[in-house]
Amino acid sequence: MDRLLIVRHGESEWNAVRRLQGHADINLSARGREQALALRATVQALSPDFVATSDLQRARDTAGLLGFGSAEPVVRLREHDVGHWTGRAIPDLQAECGDDYANWRAGAFTPPGGESWAEFRDRTKCAVSDLASKVSGTLLVVAHGGVVRALLEGFLDIAPHRIIPVGTASLTVLRCRGRSLTSMRLELFNYNPAGPVFDAPD
């Protein structure tokens, strides 16, 4: 692999009302479908050689709307498992346990019954590394906001507390130097054809 394209899925029904999803299988909203279609031309122009997607429906539907309905579903590309926080409204979590929520966003707290940040980061990095070994050119991964942040730490050593939430239906690009996964660099971050996103939903 010489280039990694990472797309966060379009807005989901729970993104729209600011609920944490984790592994919950939530559909795209109408707006999310429009967002994915708006990104399609950009991703198509980059001509990925292989496409993988989280097996969750919001990611699979985004891949289809981008023109890659036959993308390979990969369970290890699922979003961060937030355990008992699944389905909780983010404003409620911030009001009830603000420090824990802030620490979770920074990768320093594991929700009850959930997956630690280190487990999540290692899971997603290993999934992409395995996929990269099969691709000589450009790999496209359609996944989740947390996956983008986990891969930025896994491959570029950027701590999660230093990365803003990425926008729905946004594109991030990493380039490999000499096709080495140990010498990747950030080529594009959080690109959205509608303009900059500064308050993306978790």
CATH number at residue 13: 3.40.50.1240
19 is in an annotated binding site: no
Is position 87 within any domain? no
Quote the domain boundaries for residue 187: 3-81+116-191
List of residues 6+ apart from 110 with CB closer than 8 A? 83, 104, 116, 117
Is position 15 within any domain? yes
Catalytic annotation present for 96 = no
pLDDT given at position 109: 97
pLDDT given at position 66: 99
- Among residues 23, 34, 72, 79, which one is catalytic? 79
pLDDT given at position 52: 99
- Among residues 9, 23, 80, 144, which one is catalytic? 9
154 is in an annotated binding site: no
Is position 99 within any domain? no
Is position 153 within any domain? yes
Residue carrying the six token digits 């010498």: 183
85 is in an annotated binding site: no
Is position 88 within any domain? no
- Give the pairing type, strands 3-8 and 138-143: parallel
Q: Please count the structural domains in the chain.
A: 1
54 is in an annotated binding site: no
pLDDT given at position 182: 86
10 is in an annotated binding site: yes
Is position 109 within any domain? no
Catalytic annotation present for 9 = yes
Q: What separation in angstroms does the CA of 171 have from each of 66, 73, 80, 144, 156?
A: 12, 19, 19, 11, 17
pLDDT given at position 200: 81
Is position 55 within any domain? yes
8 is in an annotated binding site: yes
pLDDT by position in tens, the chain (length 202) = 999 999 999 999 999 999 999 999 999 999 999 999 999 999 999 999 999 999 999 999 999 999 999 999 999 999 999 999 999 999 999 999 979 999 999 999 999 999 999 999 999 999 999 999 999 999 999 999 999 999 999 999 999 999 988 999 999 999 998 777 888 999 999 999 987 777 787 7
Is position 106 within any domain? no
14 is in an annotated binding site: yes
What is the reported pTM? 0.96
